């Protein structure tokens, strides 16, 4: 009896496994990575390439599944496989006990280590030298942990190693600790920097969500095969060579320091700036588009997300404001009013970034369009603030306006839409405009869900060129121009309304 | 006997514990001009606002052409309201709309009229009150008297069966009272059914077919203007009439008469100014005397 039950159970399990297997066969195998870690993963034009990408693609081929790459912040890579947004996390991830608690790791495919990068003016000789100094690292990496646990101090955290190196050259930290590959990349062509020996060594492996033995086995088999037939070695050579070429230091900057005289210095600076502009924005990448296109496409995304969420927020805001003010004044819509109050409390009580991440990882997990996710998250957020602004506008309108509308035979909603809201909007236009401006700039956090907007576009250019000032200053300038144009438009609208209508202060009309 | 338009029975209205209307009953017949007078707080405005349900009565019934509007559903209430025009003390024009749009909004939204049709009718009505030149203006560009005339036109554009006036001249400067009253007199002459709350005793005497005296939430006197104004009264009504006769209403009448004379060319504008200045001096003197 018991035996029969077990066998039945086993056969059920078999069917279930088969079904899962069939279902997953058709599904895309998505790799989560942050493409700012050459030669393991980096952007070639719009395409993410590198050693990890080749390896993951080989896994997909082995499983006969379509393959896709998702480019996101390194901090999001492991959460992405846990939540099922991606199946493989391959981003030069070092195996650590903490990470092992949350995900399963493959056999290591590369063993590497962390080294110190130092300016040649203060040579590095022994690990004791690091103690008590300001150490730059890429946040969230093993270098970060090394400084915390081995040196027992807080590191200076940067988004990339290159940024940390730039900060070191600017005198903001004494040393930088980094993985050997990005460290080599930073030192290459930068005559002022040098590398130490390994401070510790570590292994990179691919992470998968727990409880997927078949997927893990396939990853391990792929790694073993790639090691055996020399493909892995070839990828390392090819991509190291390609990523080396990415880094181009403006040759003129070295010359500049040699010459003397103000005019020579100025002309050298001018040439350096021109070279920087060329490198950051104009130079054609492998796919024929220039880096400036990151900003152009990013601007498109920023505008799309900002404008659509402003509109969504306006509609939500109007609706909630009417519900709330109608309830407070006439006792209408008690249930909807309660819902609206919960909405306002939650949205205004939690940070925008957290709402964006919850929308992306939990609520809209199955939605593919990140633009849509961003529009919904920002629109719903802004709706709460716009609702309260609009409510203030509605409350400010003389009750006689509602009475006059109703006395003419208009319904409550007709009076609201045709008489109260147009006046309310005019009264709160400055406050609404302010909310629009805040929202437009707030969209710069969409990088958290791997959407490449204007801010993230600038960040990518910086990560590829190691030029810090120009990309960020340009991005800042574009935002400024956007906001100024918008403010100007709003000013025009206000003047237009003032000229056609009555002074909104005098409702006694 | 004309047919009954509004039949109000035992109407009561309370705001919280405060009972403002304590059981009012009356009938308003087609073509009647009913003027409600009485001391402030007597319930005149509340009574009027109950008639088109801007205030919901606590008890009693209001039959409009035989239909109890208190118990009607929301859609019916909206339809019935569109058949009753209302003019407010503070005009309540829509400041974001032009005069023409103020007038045509409801006919287009509710009566389904085309813009052209509604505007043609609006222009005719504006011409009737002498304001066709203001069609493109906005309410803020108008004087109080002009605003109130536009408000009357806005109600008339819905072709109402009855017009309710809630102290239509109380917020006006004295020299503008006349122009509004003239429009109202004209309406009455043309057979419009009207219910008017006012302090303009002369208007009540000249135009009303029936006068109601409201006090303490009840109708305490009712009759033709002759019965109310020409006969001596005891109690509150007598007191009230004695007070208003010597009060600002007389001044308003004089101002109206002077302006009329100026318009007709009987006296010049400078003479009017002289008279007004003299009146002011006397007023101040009188005030000073009262204080001393």
Q: Compare all CA atoms of chain A with the CA of B50 and give the residue at the minimum distance.
A: A407
Q: Is the pLDDT of residue A9 over 50?
A: no
| pTM above threshold 0.80 | no
A243-302 tens-digit pLDDT: 766 654 433 344 444 456 778 788 888 888 888 888 888 877 656 678 888 899 999 999
Residue A412: name the closest of B157, B166, B81 by CA.
B81
CA distance A170 to A187: 15
Whether B252 has a pLDDT exceeding 80, the answer reads no
Q: What is the pLDDT of residue A15?
A: 46
What is the C-alpha separation between B135 and B161, in angstroms, rounded? 25
Tokens of A509: 């009309």
Spatial CA neighbour of A484 closest among A429, A422, A441: A441
Kindly list the residues from chain B whose CB atom is less than 8 angstroms away from the CB atom of residue A404: 86, 88, 92-94
List pLDDT tens digits, range A41-67. Answer: 888 877 889 999 999 999 999 998 999
A63 neighbors A71 (Cβ within 8 angstroms): no
The rounded mean pLDDT for chain B is: 86
Q: Which residues make beta-bridge pairs with A420?
A: none
| E strand intervals along A134-278 | 135-138, 156-158, 175-179, 193-204, 207-209
CA A220, A226, A227 angle in degrees (round to 5)?
A: 90
- Reported residue count of chain B is 292
CA–CA distance, A167 with A427 (Å, rounded to integer): 48
Of the residues A329, A409, A423, A427, the best mutation for testing chain B's interface (the one with the most B CB atoms within 10 Å of its CB) is: A409
Number of residues that make up chain A:
509
pLDDT at A20 exceeding the cut of 50: no
Tens digits of residue pLDDT in A416-460: 999 999 999 999 999 999 999 999 999 999 988 878 899 988 988
Q: Is the pLDDT of residue B65 over 60?
A: yes
Contact (CB<8Å) A409/B91: no
Chain A nearest-CA residue for B156: A408
The distance of Cα B78 from the centroid of its chain, to the nearest Å, equals 21
Residue A57, number of CB atoms within 10 A of its CB = 16
pLDDT of A69 strictly over 60: yes
Query: In a 3-state reduction of DSSP, which class is residue A487?
Result: helix
What pLDDT is attached to residue A487? 92
Whether the upstream peptide bond of residue A39 has omega within 30° of 0, thus cis, is: yes
Chain A positions touching B158 (Cβ under 8 A) are 408-409
pLDDT band at A372 (very low <50, low <70, confident <90, very high): very high
Judged by average pLDDT, the poorest of A240-249, A359-368, A491-500 is A240-249
The reported pLDDT for the residue numbered A92 is 87
| B207: pLDDT strictly greater than 70 | yes
Contact B83, B105 (CB under 8 A): no
Q: How far apart are the first and last CA of chain A?
A: 90
Cα–Cα distance measured from residue A126 to residue A422, given in angstroms and rounded to the nearest whole number: 72
Give the C-alpha separation, A35 to B84, whole Å: 71
Please indicate whether, in this complex, the C-beta atoms of A408 and B154 are within 8 angstroms of each other.
yes
The number of CA neighbours under 13 Å toward the Cβ of A122 is 13
The mean pLDDT of B171-180, rounded to a whole number, is 89
Q: What is the pLDDT of residue B267?
A: 64
Residue B195: the pLDDT is 96
Q: Which two tokens stand for residue B26?
A: 């009356």
Q: How far B23 CA lies from chain A's nearest CA (Å)? A: 24
Q: How far apart are CA A375 and CA A204, in angstroms?
A: 36
Tens of pLDDT, residues A290-330: 888 889 999 999 999 999 999 999 999 999 999 999 998 88
CA distance A430 to chain B (A): 17
User: What count of other Cβ atoms lies within 10 Å of the Cβ of residue B283?
Assistant: 11
Q: Which residues of B touch A (CB under 8 A)?
A: 52, 54, 74, 78-79, 81-86, 88, 90-97, 105-106, 109-110, 138-140, 147, 154-155, 158, 171
| Predicted pLDDT at A506 | 45
Q: What is the average per-residue pLDDT within B271-282?
A: 69
A423 contact residues in B (CB cutoff 8 A): 94-96
User: What is the C-alpha separation between B153 and B131, in angstroms, rounded?
Assistant: 10
- DSSP characters for A390-423? HHHHHHTS-HHHHHHHHHTT--HHHHIIIIIHHH
Structure tokens at A486: 């918008």
pLDDT digits (tens, 9 = 90+) for A146-200: 887 888 887 887 777 888 888 788 777 889 999 887 888 888 878 888 888 888 8
**The pair of three-digit structure tokens given for residue A167, joined into one six-digit string:** 């900060």
**Is the per-residue pLDDT at B284 higher than 90?**
no
pLDDT of residue A151: 84
* Minimum Cα–Cα distance from A425: chain B residue: B96
Instruction: Say which residue the tokens 């909004």 belong to.
Output: B105
Six-digit token string for B262: 């100026």
Is A509's CB within 8 Å of B93's CB?
A: yes
In A, minimum Cα distance to B56 occurs at A330
Preferred mutation among B53, B72, B96, B157 to probe A, highest tally of A CBs within 10 A: B96
CA atoms of B97 and A421, how far apart (whole Å): 13
Instruction: Kindly report the number of other CB atoms within 10 A of residue B150's CB atom.
Output: 26
ipTM above 0.95, yes or no: no
CA A51 to chain centre: 22
In degrees and rounded to multiples of 5, residue B68 shows phi and psi of -75, 105
- Cβ distance of B92 and A426 shorter than 8 Å: no
Average pLDDT over residues A336-356: 95
Taking the CA atoms of B153, B154, B156 and B162 in sequence, report the sign of the dihedral they define: negative
Q: What mean pLDDT do residues A198-225 have?
A: 88
pLDDT tens by residue, A383-411: 999 999 999 999 999 999 999 999 999 99
Of the pLDDT bands very low, low, confident and very high (cuts 50, 70, 90), residue A509 is: very low
B1 or B128, higher pLDDT? B128
Q: Where residue A19 falls among pLDDT bands split at 50, 70, 90?
A: very low
Strand partners, B33: B194
Minimal C-alpha gap between A166 and chain B (Å)? 57
Share of chain A above pLDDT 90, in %: 39
């Amino acid at each position: 009896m018991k035996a029969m039950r077990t066998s039945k159970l086993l056969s059920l399990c078999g069917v279930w496994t088969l079904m899962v297997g069939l279902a997953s066969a058709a599904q895309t195998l998505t790799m989560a990575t942050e493409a700012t870690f050459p030669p393991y993963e980096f952007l070639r034009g719009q395409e993410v390439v590198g050693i990890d990408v080749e390896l993951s693609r080989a896994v997909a081929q082995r499983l006969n599944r379509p393959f896709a790459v998702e480019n996101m912040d390194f901090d999001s890579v492991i959460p992405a496989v846990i939540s099922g947004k991606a199946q493989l996390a391959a981003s030069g991830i070092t195996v650590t006990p903490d990470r092992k608690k949350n995900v399963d790791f493959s056999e290591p495919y590369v063993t590497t280590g962390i080294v110190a990068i130092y300016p040649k003016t203060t040579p590095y000789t022994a690990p004791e030298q690091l103690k008590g100094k300001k150490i730059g690292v890429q946040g969230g990496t093993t270098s970060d942990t090394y400084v915390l646990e081995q040196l027992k101090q807080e590191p200076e955290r940067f988004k990339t190693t290159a940024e940390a190196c730039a900060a070191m050259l600017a005198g903001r930290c004494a040393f930088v600790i980094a993985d050997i590959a990005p460290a080599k990349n930073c030192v290459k062509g930068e005559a002022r920097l040098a590398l130490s020996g390994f401070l510790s060594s570590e292994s990179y492996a691919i992470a998968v969500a727990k409880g997927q033995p078949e997927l893990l086995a396939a990853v391990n088999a792929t790694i073993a095969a790639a090691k055996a037939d020399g493909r892995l070695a070839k990828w390392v050579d090819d991509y190291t060579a390609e990523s080396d070429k990415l880094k181009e230091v403006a040759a003129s900057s070295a010359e500049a320091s040699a010459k003397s005289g103000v005019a020579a210095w100025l002309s050298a600076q001018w040439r350096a700036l021109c070279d920087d502009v060329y490198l950051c924005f104009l130079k054609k990448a492998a796919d024929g588009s220039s880096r400036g296109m990151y900003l152009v496409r990013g601007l498109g995304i920023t505008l799309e997300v900002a404008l659509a969420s402003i509109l969504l927020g306006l509609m939500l805001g109007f609706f909630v404001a009417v519900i709330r003010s109608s309830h407070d004044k006439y006792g209408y819509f008690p249930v909807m009013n309660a819902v609206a109050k919960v909405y306002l409390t939650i949205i205004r009580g939690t940070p925008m970034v957290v709402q964006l991440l919850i929308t992306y990882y939990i609520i809209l997990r199955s939605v593919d369009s990140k633009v849509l996710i961003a529009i919904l998250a920002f629109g719903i957020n802004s709706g709460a603030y716009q609702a309260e602004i609009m409510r203030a506008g509605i409350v400010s309108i003389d009750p006689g306006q509602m009475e006059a509308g109703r006395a003419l035979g208009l319904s409550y909603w007709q009076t609201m839409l045709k008489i109260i809201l147009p006046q309310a909007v005019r009264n709160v236009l400055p406050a609404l405009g302010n909310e629009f401006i805040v929202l437009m700039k707030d969209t710069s956090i969409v990088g958290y869900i791997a959407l490449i907007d204007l801010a993230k576009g600038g960040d990518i250019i910086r990560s590829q060129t190691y030029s810090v000032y120009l990309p960020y200053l340009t991005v800042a300038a574009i935002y400024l121009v956007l906001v100024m144009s918008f403010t100007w438009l709003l000013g025009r609208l206000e003047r237009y309304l003032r000229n056609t209508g009555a002074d909104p202060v005098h409702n006694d009309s | 006997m004309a047919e009954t338009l509004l039949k109000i029975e035992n109407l009561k209205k309370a705001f919280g514990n405060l009972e403002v209307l304590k059981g009012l009953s009356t009938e308003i017949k087609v073509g009647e001009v009913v003027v409600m007078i009485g001391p402030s707080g007597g319930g005149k405005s509340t009574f009027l606002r109950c008639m088109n349900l801007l205030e919901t009565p606590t008890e009693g019934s209001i039959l409009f052409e035989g239909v109890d509007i208190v118990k009607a559903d929301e859609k019916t209430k909206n339809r019935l309201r569109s058949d009753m025009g209302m003019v407010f003390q503070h005009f309540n024009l829509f400041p974001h709309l032009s005069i023409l749009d103020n007038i045509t909004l409801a006919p287009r939204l509710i009566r389904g009229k085309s813009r052209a049709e509604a505007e043609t009718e609006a222009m005719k009505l504006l011409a009737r009150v002498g304001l066709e030149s203001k069609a493109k203006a906005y309410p803020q560009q108008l004087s109080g008297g002009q605003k109130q005339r536009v408000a009357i036109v806005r109600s008339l554009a819905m072709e109402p069966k009855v017009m309710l006036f809630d102290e239509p001249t109380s917020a006006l400067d004295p020299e503008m009272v006349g122009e509004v009253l003239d429009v109202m007199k004209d309406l009455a002459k043309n057979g419009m059914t009207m219910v008017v709350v006012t302090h303009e005793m002369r208007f009540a005497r000249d135009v009303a077919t029936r006068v109601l005296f409201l006090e303490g939430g009840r109708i305490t006197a009712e009759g033709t203007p002759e019965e109310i104004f020409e006969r001596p009264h005891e109690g509150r009504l007598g007191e009230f009439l004695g007070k208003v006769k010597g009060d600002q209403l007389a001044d308003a009448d004089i101002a109206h008469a002077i302006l009329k004379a100026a318009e007709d060319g009987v006296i010049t504008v400078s003479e009017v100014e002289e008279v007004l200045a003299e009146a002011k001096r006397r007023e101040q003197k009188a005030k000073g005397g009262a204080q001393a």
